[in-house]
């Protein structure tokens, strides 16, 4: 068992190596204060450690968390991680704050972070206010010309700028982009794939696109200068028209082009189930061949199809690892990256 003083020394080294000076002083002051109180360690889960009030921790608890995180901090230092930010984590203020804190921590310990965001619920709400019905085919929104204009306005004009502001307020340098900036995402029409009785058919769903080409230089330039690129999933066609692209696919294409260490897809479920009604059927590791088989057989359906396909696409294009994680869990990104157990489904 590691001596408490040794734990504190190890934790101190972590702080000194990766955090700004003002944060080191504050963190060490808290730990020293706890040592003086001689608090006993409290046995709680990793999830509780993340979300519980700090006053219940002893210095040993805090040091243990840092010691557990240290090898992962060292492993990911200087690496690029792409986060697809979406689902409830975008609309719940508490979860929104935890995501921004996680991204800030990642940057402070030397990880290059790229965010690709969705915005489906907000687009749906805006369309509803205008009296337009929303329909989906295989998890993709049917998008006419008016809908794509609204989607671009919500994604690029509202959501993107909000995320950039939240990150900048936490001491980061975030820059908002859409796929139209610097021709980042050259798009073409995407047909939805529908499986019926094991047969595959293609359906035209309007101004829904896929990346024909990703010109990643602008993202690399921003990363090299210490910025956090925040990307809205709008691409531009050869005719100059905008295409709404599923954010999962955009995140996959960006991660592949960057040869990212990890792609993390935040969603509103724990991960992938073989039978969603049976919680014991949760799949922690999903093999690529099984993923394709489950989609074809309808075991994986609806909004989970683009997420699983995005993971496969990212891996095929050079991303090292891809995960689907529960964005409803506070600090889910940190739990996945910096704890031994991790969370969610890894697609490999």
Same domain for 310 and 282: yes
**What integer pLDDT is reported at residue 58 of this predicted model?**
63
**What integer pLDDT is reported at residue 56 of this predicted model?**
47
CA–CA separation, 23 vs 15, rounded Å? 8
Q: Which of 56, 76, 96 is the last residue of a domain?
A: 76
Same domain for 179 and 306: yes
Same domain for 304 and 226: yes
Indicate the number of domains in the chain. Answer: 2
**What integer pLDDT is reported at residue 51 of this predicted model?**
43
Contact 275, 298 (CB under 8 A): no
Q: Which of 76, 102, 128 is the last residue of a domain?
A: 76
Same domain for 334 and 259: yes
Q: Which of 26, 51, 76 is the last residue of a domain?
A: 76
Same domain for 72 and 88: no
Same domain for 168 and 28: no
The runs of H, that is alpha helices, within the chain are 4-18, 21-37, 46-51, 59-76, 93-108, 120-129, 145-152, 160-168, 217-224, 247-258, 288-296, 304-316, 332-338
DSSP state of 275: S
Same domain for 342 and 207: yes
Q: State which residues form the domain around 25.
A: 1-76
Model confidence, pTM: 0.81
Same domain for 263 and 231: yes
Please name which of 319, 324, 297, 293 lies closest in space to residue 308, comparing C-alpha atoms: 324
Same domain for 201 and 59: no
**What integer pLDDT is reported at residue 341 of this predicted model?**
79
Same domain for 171 and 32: no
Same domain for 138 and 68: no
- As averages over each run of 10 residues, the pLDDT of the chain (348 residues) reads 50 56 57 50 43 51 77 94 92 91 94 95 91 85 92 94 96 96 95 80 92 96 98 95 94 97 95 89 93 91 90 96 94 90 89
């Amino acid at each position: 068992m590691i001596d408490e003083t040794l734990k504190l020394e190890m934790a101190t080294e972590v702080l000194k190596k990766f955090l700004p000076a003002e944060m080191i002083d504050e963190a060490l002051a808290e730990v020293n204060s706890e040592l003086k109180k001689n608090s006993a360690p409290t046995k709680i889960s990793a999830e509780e450690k993340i979300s519980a009030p700090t006053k219940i921790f002893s210095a040993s608890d805090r040091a243990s968390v840092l010691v557990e995180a240290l090898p992962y901090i060292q492993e990911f230092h200087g690496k690029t991680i792409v986060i697809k930010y979406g689902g409830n984590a975008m609309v719940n203020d508490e979860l929104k704050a935890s995501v921004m804190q996680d991204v800030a921590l990642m940057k402070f310990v030397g990880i290059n972070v790229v965010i690709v965001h969705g915005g489906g619920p907000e687009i749906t709400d805006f369309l509803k206010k205008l009296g337009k019905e929303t329909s989906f085919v295989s998890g993709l929104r049917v998008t006419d010309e008016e809908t794509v204009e609204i989607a671009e306005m919500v994604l690029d004009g509202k959501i993107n700028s909000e995320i950039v502001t939240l990150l900048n307020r936490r001491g980061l340098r975030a820059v908002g982009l859409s796929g139209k900036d610097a021709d980042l995402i050259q798009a073409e029409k995407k047909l939805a794939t529908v499986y019926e009785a094991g047969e595959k058919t293609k359906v035209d769903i309007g101004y829904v696109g896929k990346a024909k080409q990703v010109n990643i230089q602008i993202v690399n330039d921003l990363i090299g200068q210490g910025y956090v690129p925040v990307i809205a999933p709008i691409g531009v066609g050869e005719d100059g028209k905008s295409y709404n692209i599923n954010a999962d696919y955009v995140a996959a294409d960006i991660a592949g082009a960057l040869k990212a260490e990890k792609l993390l897809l935040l969603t509103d479920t724990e991960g992938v189930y073989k039978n969603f009604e049976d919680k014991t059927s949760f799949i922690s590791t999903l093999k690529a061949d099984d993923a394709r088989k489950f989609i074809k057989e309808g075991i994986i359906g609806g909004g989970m199809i683009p997420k699983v396909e995005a993971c496969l696409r990212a891996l095929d294009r050079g991303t090292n690892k891809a995960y689907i994680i529960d964005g409803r869990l506070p600090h889910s990104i940190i739990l996945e990256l910096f704890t031994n157990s991790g969370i969610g489904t890894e697609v490999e």
